Amino acid sequence: MRARLFPALLALLVLTGCAAAPAVPPQQQYQATFLTLFDTVTTIVGYADTEEDFQAQAQQIHDDLLEYHQLFDIYNEYGDLSNLKTVNDHAGIAPVAVDQRIIALLLDCKAYHELTGGAVNVGMGSVLSLWHTARTEGRDAPDRAKLPNDEALHTAQEHSCFDAVVIDEEKSTVFLRDPQQRLDVGAVAKGWSVERVCRAAPEGLLVSVGGNVCATGPKPTGNDWVIGIQSPDDVSSYLHTLNIKDGCVVTSGDYQRYYVVDGKPYHHIIDPQSGYPAARWRAVTVVGSDSGLADCLSTALFILPQEEGQQLLDRTGAVALWVTHDGTILYSPGFEHLIRT
Ligand code: AMP
Ligand code: MG
């Protein structure tokens, strides 16, 4: 969606080691990498009888993800496709007829908004857009990097009410009544799309889109997948590796997208209360059974105090780890049994 590949996400998150001595592998392991989706690196790992069979599966997943990418894009147009940019461009003007997948995503976003007490609010696109512009300009010209205008941020906060977004399931339309409101689904779109494609994909595949990793079932060899959690200080090293049979691992971190103003880094996860980057944690990793929910939770837990985050985990059955500014790692109950190293 955005025009930049972010170095922190370029490091391959997925290790494919074995958790136990394998039986004779029935099939060969293959891997495919795509650089064209959601402005990040997509890696697909799986087993097949022939490379051709695997490439066909990987291509299908790529093609499905590309459709989600285009539908949820707020920056680019694709011919006469009605996407979220079209919805934003029609704010205060008219409802826009959209694909059912946009309706399904936004209905889940509504549930995520309620679940997280407003911490994850895809209706705050006007606030996020000010940060996006300042970050893009600041990265392009570091000497002139500056914060968004404080008054503009506070004004944008007043046009961020998710309840004002009109989602008409029957007509399959979306309308932003407030002309100054914008949608930005960056907090959940990758994980949500990964969940959708993984549900339709064969068992025994691993799909990684940026910090969103999802296994569609155990490896055909019977071994666990081994997923690395990047260190916020050095993305080429891992805080932990995890044993995952199936399910999803999603990370939100201050090192993933940021820029520097007067020597201070400002990252991309914004606390809706303050309108400024959330300062509580360096990174949060969530492991759960639904990648869309895990993506929502990683963003929410990054913003919220640990106790409130833990309540969300208790309600959803996910587990998490938090990395503090001094490098201490905190674990929710149940996380530690996933740790391999
Ligand atoms: P993630 O990396 O999944 O935590 O998502 C970060 C992205 O979500 C940012 O790049 C923004 O586009 C968007 N975002 C940041 N803060 C919020 C928030 N509080 N609610 C909804 N979306 C957000
Ligand atoms: Mg997220």
Q: Evaluate the CA torsion angle 143, 149, 150, 153 in order and state its sign.
A: negative
Rounded to the nearest 5 percent, the helix, strand and coil shares of the chain are 35, 25, 40
- How far apart are the C-alpha atoms of 46 and 211, rounded to whole Å? 18
Q: Is residue 253 in contact with ligand 1, taking CB distance under 6 Å?
A: no
Q: What confidence score (pLDDT) does residue 4 get?
A: 30
Best probe residue, ligand 1, of 299, 302, 304 (max atoms within 8 Å of C-beta): 299
Q: How far is CA 229 from the centre of its chain?
A: 15
Q: What confidence score (pLDDT) does residue 106 get?
A: 98
Q: Is residue 270 in contact with ligand 1, taking CB distance under 6 Å?
A: yes
Ligand 2 centroid to residue 120 C-alpha, Å? 8
Name the pTM for this structure.
Answer: 0.92
Surrounding ion ligand 2 within 5 Å at CB are 187, 295, 298-299
Q: Provide DSSP, 25-74.
A: -SSEEEEEEEEEETTEEEEEEEEESSHHHHHHHHHHHHHHHHHHHHHH-S
Q: What confidence score (pLDDT) does residue 111 get?
A: 98
Q: What confidence score (pLDDT) does residue 22 get?
A: 53
Q: What confidence score (pLDDT) does residue 23 get?
A: 54
Q: Is residue 120 in contact with ligand 1, taking CB distance under 6 Å?
A: yes
Task: Report the chain (341 residues): mean pLDDT per 10 consecutive residues.
Answer: 33 46 70 96 95 96 98 98 98 98 98 98 98 98 98 98 97 98 98 97 94 92 94 95 96 96 98 98 98 98 98 98 98 97 97
- How far apart are the C-alpha atoms of 82 and 162, rounded to whole Å? 20
What φ, ψ does residue 121 adopt, rounded to 5°?
-130, 100
- How far apart are the C-alpha atoms of 123 and 127, rounded to whole Å? 9
Among residues 132, 133, 129, which one has the least CA distance to residue 182?
129
Q: What confidence score (pLDDT) does residue 6 get?
A: 29
Q: What confidence score (pLDDT) does residue 74 get?
A: 98
Among residues 122, 44, 70, which one has the least CA distance to residue 295?
122
Q: What confidence score (pLDDT) does residue 220 get?
A: 87
Element (H, E) at 294: helix 291-303
